[in-house]
Amino acid sequence: MPPFRTPSLRRAALALTLTLLASGSAVSATTAATATASPAAATASAGRAWFTSWAQSQQELAPTPLRDQSVRMITHLAQGGGALRIRIQNTFGTAPLTVDAATVGHSDGQGPAVEGDVLAVTFDGRREVVVPAGGEVWSDAAALRTDAQDDVAVSLSVSGTVTPGRHTSAFRSNYLTAPGSGDRTAEASGSAYTQTVGSTYLVSAVDVHNPKLRGTIVAYGSSVVDGTGSTDCGPGCTPEGTDHRWTDDLARRITAELPRTRQLAVANAGIGGTTSSADCPRNPAGIRGLDAVSRLERDVLALHGVTGVLYYYGTNDLANGCDAELILRSYDEVFQRLRAAGIKVFVTPITPRPGYTDRNNLDRHAVGTHVKKGNTCDGTCDGVTDFDQVLKDPLKPNSINPAYDTGDGIHANIAGQRALADYVSLPMLVSSTGRR
């Protein structure tokens, strides 16, 4: 086939190709809430071409409703591809949510403007889609070419008055137009997006179409996975840019260090404050239903091309009164479900925290001993990532190294985030992809 000679012809041909492909591999807007085939199975049957390259798990409703206005969310891709598609969720909504229009476009990550073309996004071929209460939809493929670590602006217009679901801490700025301003999704300048929010609304995942990728690795856990501390570079320091979570650094390592034939995407499924077990006696009401077992389906198994999970849970379990037995019971349930889906599980022992009681530290030791047994959690997981050893203070092993501490004794600063990312074994992650 001769090369395409103009961007418009290239986009048209790509869109036609992807429309035909998506009809057999994508989960459509009208069936997403009731589909029974797993995304992993659907992806495998389509040659594993779709991979989730960005995610932020929804956790609650926003404090202020949207009223006939548009949102522009900036998503940072771990890997790029020839096209992308988006997931919109109404997980916590009590009424249907109508999206009148959606667009995607390149962003410089510094503001609401779109660089280059603004491309319309459709759902089963239509601009408008209704997301049922408690449901979700995936879009059709949009022919936007992207590279690894690109920022993509996802814009959505919502009609009526509705309270959107959100991921509370985006660790970057996202944007809203004024109430009553209507559909401004096609605007490239971003001048209508006058309100700034620190949360991510409505959109919870972005897939890329890239048959050369080997898989997606999902980081699953609480605040240290979510990114708390990733904006802290120390006293008197202002971080340059965004995306300093250890998962962002890990994605950059993969791009730089692995050969082109071994590339992986990284998706972040962390939610601050959550636990592995739903049964910790002091779990607050605000995290009910957000434990690792309860949200596993929508936040991990519903993503695409997932081959491995980095499991980083347990610190909040101990703080909320769980003992080793309850924690390991939840581990076993999650690990069994992941491995049954063909997904490998790599576990980090519970990291130190100076507020733990002696009983907490005994339970932390018990969980760590189990996880490190054979480096396979006594045969229930596939590998261990010793983040507890990375973060611990060598003089006070039940505390975080002061060089990595944000000051609360719990969360890693930017230096600590980088140290975690640098420690992860890339061959271990590649092993999750099998022989593909």
Q: How far apart are CA 258 and CA 178, in angstroms?
A: 44
Q: How far apart are CA 380 and CA 370, in angstroms?
A: 10
Three-state SS for 221-272 is ECHHHHCCCCCCCCCCCCCCCCCCCHHHHHHHHHHHHCCHHHCEEEEEEECC
pLDDT of amino acid 417: 97
Which tokens belong to 115? 């660089």
> For residue 141, what is the DSSP state?
P
pLDDT of amino acid 241: 80
Q: How far apart are CA 132 and CA 63, in angstroms?
A: 20
- Token pair 């980095």 is found at 310
Instruction: Answer whether 331's CB lies under 8 Å from 348's CB.
Output: no
Instruction: Answer whether 347's CB lies under 8 Å from 384's CB.
Output: yes
One-letter amino acid of 156: L
Instruction: Answer whether 345's CB lies under 8 Å from 308's CB.
Output: yes
Residue 407, by phi and psi: left (phi above 0), alpha (psi -120 to 50) or beta? left
Q: How far apart are CA 353 and CA 319, in angstroms?
A: 9
Instruction: Answer whether 105's CB lies under 8 Å from 89's CB.
Output: no
Kindly report each contact of residues 249-254 with a partner whose C-beta sits within 8 Å and lies 24 or more positions away, as own/partner: 249/417, 249/418, 249/420, 249/421, 249/422, 250/217, 250/219, 250/421, 250/424, 251/78, 251/79, 251/148, 251/149, 252/149, 252/421, 253/421, 253/422, 253/424, 253/426, 254/78, 254/426, 254/429
Which tokens belong to 298? 């929508």
pLDDT of amino acid 237: 85
pLDDT of amino acid 435: 52
pLDDT of amino acid 35: 36
Q: How far apart are CA 220 and CA 30, in angstroms?
A: 28
Q: How far apart are CA 388 and CA 352, in angstroms?
A: 6
Q: How far apart are CA 341 and CA 38, in angstroms?
A: 9
Rounded average pLDDT per 10-residue block, the chain, 436 residues: 37 45 42 40 56 98 97 98 98 95 96 97 97 97 98 96 96 97 97 98 98 98 97 87 95 98 98 98 96 98 98 97 98 98 98 94 97 97 97 95 95 97 98 78
pLDDT of amino acid 45: 38
pLDDT of amino acid 234: 87
Q: How far apart are CA 88 and CA 29, in angstroms?
A: 9
pLDDT of amino acid 240: 79
pLDDT of amino acid 238: 84
Instruction: Answer whether 245's CB lies under 8 Å from 171's CB.
Output: yes
Q: In 10 A of CB 402, how many CB atoms?
A: 11
pTM: 0.90
- Token pair 């932020």 is found at 56
Instruction: Answer whether 84's CB lies under 8 Å from 141's CB.
Output: yes
Q: How far apart are CA 92 and CA 359, in angstroms?
A: 36
